[in-house]
Amino acid sequence: MKQAAFASVAIKTPRREEICAILNEPYDPDHWNDWRWQMRHRFTRLDQFEKLLDLTESERRGLSLASEKFSVAVTPQFAALIDPHDPDCPIRLQVVPQENELLVSPGDMTDPCGEDGASVVEGLVHRYPDRVLFLVLDTCAAYCRYCTRSRLVSQGELEPLGRRIEEALAYLEEHTEVRDVLLSGGDPLLMSDATLDKLLGRLRAIPHIEFLRIGTRIPGFLPQRITPELVAVLRKHRVWLSLHFCHVKELTPEVAEACDRLADGGIPLGCQTVLLKGVNDSAETLRDLFHGLLKLRVRPYYLYQCDPVLGTGHLRTSIETGLELMDQLRGHTTGYAVPTYVVDAPGGGGKVPMQKQTIAGYDDGVWHIRNWEGKTYSYVDPAER
């Protein structure tokens, strides 16, 4: 495998042979680097995780009951990053269920972002004036335990795209105010190149649609999927990618190579990170992640307060924690490494930027502003003429 130019953030080589032995498969580099093989051999069952990890009782019960709440699936690629002996491993906390998922905390919601209420046709959410969310699949390469759409993803309730695409496209053609379409799900990059090419082509054929984005965690969960052919499709339709990474441990050589391929192909890359208790809730951890992303030419874009999805209370921090972390980042590192901290307002209020008050006061045309050190400065408005 080619060593990516910015792979200095990478961790040690994953334990591939051991992973394959657990799956009763001989290790074959060609198989490992085949994204379809990775999908066919995901970890989904308790007996597999018992061989992979020293399970805690909470994890064992969580895995036993997961089918009642939200499916479990972890690609061999991502499973190889999990520390088998550390229940607090930041990779492990993201994808291995715990018994706490069965607990409902105050404020928990089935649909915290209010997407169902803003759906204009099945799978098409129109909340903001000029943009829509298009849910094209309900499957992912692996399932984050804090998934905002756990009510929908992996549940088999979303109609296949082929049965609803004409209604969605008709809505978009009629609503000329829509200029921005975000494809999500599920993960759109699990579609075949041909299917994705056709879908993007039909969206591009609508004159008033100017901006196409795809939300994906594929480069981290399944970097083998980022093939030259896929990059050519994305480049052809001038697509932007919103990636998802939560910890620097995820930035492996394979991920670095995938990001290099995308960036070299002209695909703009941003990252949406979720603030998670025990995973990345320290300034040092976030700084390491954001610096690592910049090395891969991925711009940290949003730091999300974890949505209050049912059963995620054990993974959520307070907003005060998020504000304090942002204070420890802003001004202490390059601005490119500081994302916008946002709360997706529960109930469908959309993204609300969160920051401690930077305006200390205003007096007769003079603004008193507070910087990252807590010091106050004055800015005088220009005189009206």
- 254 Ramachandran zone, left/alpha/beta (phi>0; psi -120 to 50): alpha
Sign of the torsion angle spanned by Cα atoms 302, 305, 310, 315: positive
Residue 379 bears catalytic tag: no
Let me know if 271 is a catalytic residue: no
**Largest Cα–Cα distance of the chain, in whole Å?**
79
The question of whether 127 is a catalytic residue gets the answer yes
Question: Which is catalytic among the residues 16, 131, 202, 299?
Answer: 131
Task: Assess contact for 343 and 301: CB atoms under 8 A.
Answer: no
Catalytic residue among 60, 69, 83, 128: 128
Cα three-residue angle 229-230-232, rounded to 5 degrees? 65
**Active site (annotated) includes residue 20:** no
Query: Active-site residue 163, yes or no?
Result: no
88 catalytic? Reply is: no
**Torsion angle (degrees, nearest 10) of CA 193, 198, 203, 204:** 90
Q: Among this protein's residues, is 16 annotated catalytic?
A: no
Of 144, 246, 271, 306, the active-site residue reads 144
Q: Determine which one of 89, 140, 259, 271 is catalytic.
A: 140
**Among 20, 281, 307, 341, the one annotated catalytic:** 307
Answer yes or no: 144 catalytic.
Answer: yes
Known active-site residue 180: no
Output the DSSP codes for 114-169: -TGGGEEETTEE--STTEEEEE--S--SS--TT-TTTTTTTSS-SPPHHHHHHHHH
> What is the C-alpha to C-alpha distance for residues 106 and 119, in angstroms, rounded to an integer?
26
* Annotation says 128 is catalytic: yes
Q: Known catalytic residues?
A: 127-128, 131, 140, 144, 147, 149, 307, 344, 351
